[in-house]
Amino acid sequence: EAEVAQSPRYKITEKSQAVAFWCDPISGHATLYWYRQILGQGPELLVQFQDESVVDDSQLPKDRFSAERLKGVDSTLKIQPAELGDSAMYLCASSLDRAWDTEAFFGQGTRLTVV
């Protein structure tokens, strides 16, 4: 069964350091999302891509976060510098397209701990 791949699964970093997460969506999926989930909360959108273009990054803290999907396939999310409050699960999801009735599939996530 096709799945969304994310790495690393776990990351511990010191505050003020840079950290990067990688996501490889299901083949053929044009839409890719990065969500952040703080313990006890639901996932919250950081950025949405359609192919290589950003279509929604309104909730991305752009002073420290950046995301790219250069060839419209895999994607990287970067945080620089990391802060203690960035500790969370970072989830990547993909779907065939952005249509209202299209199912999104999630990767296993990267659990980030900032110390």
- Per-residue x/- marks for another protein, 25-64, CB under 8 A? --------x-x----xxxxxx--x------xx--------
How far apart, in whole angstroms, are the C-alpha atoms of residue 77 and residue 72?
A: 14
Kindly state the smallest distance separating residue 27's Cβ from another protein, in Å. 18
Distances (CA, A) of 7 to 64, 77, 91: 20, 11, 10
Per CB under 8 A, the list member of 25, 77, 86, 109 interacting with another protein is 109
Nearer to another protein, 78 or 111 (CB): 111
Please give the single-letter amino acid code of residue 26.
I
Q: In the numeric block, which tokens belong to residue 87?
A: 């500790």
Which range touches another protein (CB under 8 A), out of 12-20, 22-30, 75-83, 99-107? 99-107
Kindly state the smallest distance separating residue 23's Cβ from another protein, in Å. 12
Per CB under 8 A, the list member of 11, 64, 78, 111 interacting with another protein is 111
Which residue carries 């970093």 as its tokens?
13
How far apart, in whole angstroms, are the C-alpha atoms of residue 94 and residue 104?
A: 5
